[in-house]
Chains A and B, each alone.
Chain A
């Protein structure tokens, strides 16, 4: 039987040190890690349980922005009154993710570390080739079942889709992830697969997510997360869009726009081309639909996932127009 040791961290520093050792992994809500251990993908030698650390579950929101501790539960953040009022897209992304049971367990830090749902990644017994699991072993997904795979940000080594909702909303609003003292944009925290799809996050051994911070903005305040999927609940996005908008005083001209895509790319996917095309323009359905097509510039499909290229711009357009209606 595969033994592992279990440590209950007593301080953030102790957790970081313990997790720096080879084979060690941090354990928070466990909703991803235990799942991956069951299917033979994660094989930790040591689990460092950080759920007893004090003060890491704080949620603080004011005019300048929100700071959310790494151990805050998804469900708590989704229901937080100030998050709902100042960052509706964040709240909506969270409550449309997973199931109520999982949201009550899963933490914000753990959510950022969520791995792909690629079926080939998750089945080592049947599919030995997976560059994300074993660098250089190949990709079983290319040429296989690809309905849920990415069309943006892919490489010849990996086409696995990043499945999360929260991070999609975070990159739209320039959120930063705090690794103790070091801070970096969420957009930079997630890495493109390139030739090293096994490396998904810009996090170094000995580092631990302690918080995320989201700057306050008018666009964040008027924002939404639109998630389209086959099933109405407990499913990953076929395509989703986190959108925030700020109008000029006329209530029609777009001063600021934030757009990010989920469910279609290998990482949370900010689409500045759409933002730039619409800033300064008057919000009109035709203009918005035309600009939204820029969301999938450079997209490459693998057959069964072609629909995502059609779908994603429509999701973006709908989300922008919906925010316009509430002007």
Chain B
């Protein structure tokens, strides 16, 4: 890891969660992996150079529904350099793996190449060749014939139907329909979001290598242990025999947490030809090889009194899933907790369509849910003639309205106040179309966002080496959010060493186990685990210092020693003062090593395996006496050209409550990244379907538009969080997903203020306003 240049200063041994000793944790250390990434020195998973590497290229279905009649591989097999053509008939048989909850799978074979086609772009064959170019050329020669059947294109397809009711999503209290019917003011509107894609800069891919019955997979991963489990189950080898390596990740946004069928193809190919195999998806394949965000539809009805106080919310949601997979995008997640209401009803269906099974994408559930409720309350504000900020305060939920529990911390009122002040909200002219600059209609919009604090148990190894430097090891990952950096800060602060002296090693499943890096949980879990391991290492160090006869501190009391800046001495500086390296040398030790985990004390090996390879042991955010969420308020200015309908975001002020920030600089970057992604969602992003073929045609980054720098104004983010001891060991709440939640409705609300047009279907493209 690249050396960073900020010294930690006068850290002391102690509990970092009190916030008073935040020289390390809480400092604005720059990303320690930054220089390696910007100079190209960082080696990503599929950049490994292996001897004998062969290349696999996927062949995908060109129909959305039907059966493969035949696959003619003769020309491909005869093509130069081809080592093997894999089809459903020739690929080795795998076993079905458990899902991410660890549910015991059906005892049946699994084939990652499809005979039954349920979406366009499904893997049907693969070609393995000596070179990538040879594999590409031969893949084009694989001739697949089909018996095509009618497909269900999307939610609006006449054949789609109402779908399957997901009873577990139902949330109800009071009598919402009756209260709605009796309310003097009623709002009812439908809100739609399209298919959206994670579009990480680094496409999905892997290198798989077998040595006997041991498999090594170099693959970008948000969850090494979870993916290793899947590979182990597919190939019926012990979990310990699978090693996942994922040192850096070029963006995941939820899409890299699971082992996917292309991984099964590559690992099968490697086993079949007895050589390492590399398979990287093309950019178009990343639009069908795994799922983006499901398209959603919601109706939100709000009944209120004339003062804008909500009496009832009735919410119905639908998201699409695949023909043979199940994805539930929880659309009532924000609806049910954002505002106080005595009567509430939310229900959700999922509808099967001929699509790849949708997947997790930054704030799954909360993101589209917020688009519905945060647009609807804006509509209510205009209906009753109350300022959109004021109506949110008037309906402020003082406790979790669904769980009926106290919030652990909810700095949302503070977020509204700080954001409004900085944005200048009080200068807003309330009427739509009342602010302009030449041809530009100006609109100001506000919306809130939230994301639950997902908690789990973590594990880490901390080593103090002979030279006094420190190693931290974990199989958790850094996909750009700053894990390398904050874990160095945590270890540095806990141990009393400069952050410069800490090397963090991540992304190898041989290291201490780690659960999924998803749901914004990693930082809270891993700082807690590193803090615990480092505390244990420090206890050993101090123990040695006072117990070993060769130590200059022999026979002193533990509480009379201070470790700071890599040196051990007395608090008053009146005794011996030696470096950690000198102490280790004097007592004849070349290292101190401690493993720390935050699992309950009586946990079994099975519990540990389950905790790190499934999400079944995640702690509910409403466990115990509290309901735990992060919160935010976005204030956004748009400029809409009155002739062209183009919407440009010209100002963003967001105030966010993620509790205590382990590193404000990195947290701010993540918030801004989420806000930028939200701008894309609001204005640009949409998978566009050819309804005749059931195929997304804008499957590349020239046609699937994500924001460029030119689309993004200066974004001001303000932290209003306070340490939340109920959410994590060191007081932080989730950061990564929070920022995107509420951005799209804030923009839609601003567009309404600018133009008087309410756009309820994302993205807000120019033809909807022209």
Contacts and interface: CB of A to CB of B under 8 A. Distances in A.
A195 interface: no
Interface of chain B: mostly helix, strand, loop or mixed: loop
Interface stretch (A171-179, A197-205, A212-220, A308-316): A308-316
Contact of B133 (A1, A143, A147): A1
A230 B646 contact: yes
Interface of chain A: mostly helix, strand, loop or mixed: loop
A82 interface: no
A144 interface: yes
A19 B692 CA distance: 39
Nearest to B138: A1
A89 interface: no
Interface string B695-715: 101100011010111110000
B280 to A, nearest CB: 14
Contact of A126 (B62, B136, B684, B767): B62
Contact of B140 (A119, A125, A233): A125
Interface in A113-132: 117, 119-120, 123, 125-127
Interface residues of B, number: 43
A123 B643 CA distance: 34
A232 interface: yes
B684 A314 contact: no
Interface in B131-151: 131, 133-134, 136-138, 140
Given A126-B695, A145-B688, A310-B770, A232 B648 contact: yes
Contacts of B688: 145, 147
Contacts of B129: 1
B708 A234 contact: yes
A307 B140 contact: no
A167 to B, nearest CB: 19
B766 A145 contact: no
A2 interface: yes
B48 interface: no
A200 to B, nearest CB: 20
B700 to A, nearest CB: 8
A1 B79 contact: yes
B644 A145 contact: no
Contacts of B62: 125-126
B117 to A, nearest CB: 13
Contacts of B538: none
Contact of A231 (B79, B439, B708): B708
A119 B120 CA distance: 16
A228 B697 contact: no
A317 B439 CA distance: 13
Given A1-B81, A144-B692, A145-B690, A126 B705 contact: no
Nearest to A228: B644
Interface string A285-327: 0000000000000000000001100110011011000000000
Contacts of B708: 231-234
B433 interface: no
A40 interface: yes
B766 A231 contact: no
B758 interface: no
B620 interface: no
B534 interface: no
Interface string A211-248: 00000000000000000111111110010000000000
A119 B766 contact: no
Nearest to A313: B643
A57 B262 CA distance: 46
B684 A230 contact: yes
A125 B81 CA distance: 22
B711 A126 contact: no
Interface in B66-124: 79-81, 120
Interface centre among A126, A148, A235, A310 (most CB of B within 10 A): A126
Nearest to A318: B643
B190 interface: no
Contacts of A233: 708-711
A123 B705 contact: no
Contacts of A127: 693
Contacts of B709: 233
A307 B766 contact: yes
B765 interface: yes
Contacts of A238: 766
B705 A231 contact: yes
Contacts of A317: 643
B765 A230 contact: yes
Contacts of A311: 644-645, 766, 770
A299 B138 CA distance: 44
A2 B693 CA distance: 29
A119 B703 contact: yes
Contact of B644 (A117, A147, A148, A314): A314
Contacts of A232: 648, 708, 710-711
Contacts of B683: 230
Interface in B45-81: 62, 79-81
A119 B696 CA distance: 10
A314 B643 contact: yes
A144 B80 CA distance: 37
Contact of A1 (B134, B648, B697): B134
B137 A1 contact: yes
Interface in A1-52: 1-2, 40
B689 interface: yes
A245 to B, nearest CB: 19
Interface in B267-308: 284
Interface centre among A231, A314, A315 (most CB of B within 10 A): A231
Interface of B: 62, 79-81, 120, 129, 131, 133-134, 136-138, 140, 284, 439, 641, 643-646, 648, 683-684, 688-690, 692-693, 695, 697-698, 702-703, 705, 707-711, 765-767, 770
18 contacts: A1-B81, A1-B131, A2-B133, A119-B698, A120-B697, A127-B693, A228-B646, A228-B766, A230-B765, A230-B766, A231-B708, A231-B710, A232-B711, A238-B766, A311-B645, A314-B643, A314-B644, A315-B644
